[in-house]
Amino acid sequence: MRRIAVVPGSFDPVTLGHLDVIERAAGLFDEVHVLVVHNPGKTALLPISQRVSLLQRAIADAGLPDTITVASWSMGLLVDYCLEVGASVLIKGIRSQVDVAYETPMAIVNRNLAGVETIFMLPDPANAHVSSSLVRQVAALGGDISPYVPRVVAEYLQKAPV
Ligand code: PNS
């Protein structure tokens, strides 16, 4: 039986912290689906299609395994996607107690809804302070985001500052 995990998130935009979690997840599972999901609680910077494209290019540039696929989901619950592709595990990066508090209720609800388990993965300490919201803010104010994001993201946001 193939072990399939989903790494869900807004990825607005993908950061080096995300890429680290995706790479390590790929080392643990036969297939990893990186799933871009709209979070209604956040004001989006990039359209979903652009986030998917940047993720695909960042994953290819980093030479990550082809067992990783990128998709988006807007058809309902996250666990519906998991059931559709046969994934039994969600993987979330956890940088701090704030993330634990934010992720724990979702993990419990997702397990109650469909028996999908959530694994929390600690970031590489080098990325523990990196978040998409920080990147959006620095980019909007004209700062250098290259230490925090894959090269394709830095180039894209420099060319088309939003
Ligand atoms: O990167 P984010 O914004 O923290 O990701 C949050 C996300 C998109 C994974 C979360 O909002 C989510 O799971 N949305 C899907 C809707 C859903 O299934 N909700 C019910 C269970 S929490």
From the candidates 24, 38, 95, 111, which is the catalytic residue? 95
CA distance 22 to 33: 9
What's the whole-model pTM score?
0.97
For the segment 106-124, the average pLDDT, to the nearest whole number, is 97
- Please provide the average confidence, as pLDDT, over all residues in the chain: 96
Nearest residue (CA) to ligand 1, atom 4? 9
How many degrees, rounded to 5, is the angle at CA 98 between CA 55 and CA 19? 20
Banded pLDDT at 158 (limits 50, 70, 90): confident
Q: In this predicted structure, what is the pLDDT of residue 88? A: 97
| Span from the CA of 37 to the centroid of ligand 1 (angstroms) | 7
Residue 162 pLDDT > 70, yes or no?
no
| Span from the CA of 146 to the centroid of ligand 1 (angstroms) | 27
From 106, 118, 130, give the residue whose CB has the most ligand 1 atoms within 8 Å, as the site to mutate.
106
132 is catalytic: yes
CA distance 65 to 16: 16
For the segment 71-98, the average pLDDT, to the nearest whole number, is 97
pLDDT-above-70 percentage for the chain = 99
Extract the annotated binding site for ATP.
10-11, 18, 93-95, 103, 127-133
159 is catalytic: no
Extract the annotated binding site.
10-11, 18, 42, 78, 92-95, 103, 127-133
Banded pLDDT at 160 (limits 50, 70, 90): confident
Residue 161 pLDDT > 90, yes or no?
no
pLDDT in tens, 35-81: 999 998 899 999 999 999 999 999 999 999 999 999 999 989 999 99
Report which of 156, 127, 139, 134 is spatially closest to residue 47, judged by C-alpha positions.
156
How far from 139 is each of 37, 54, 55, 127, 148, CA to CA, in Å? 22, 16, 18, 18, 11
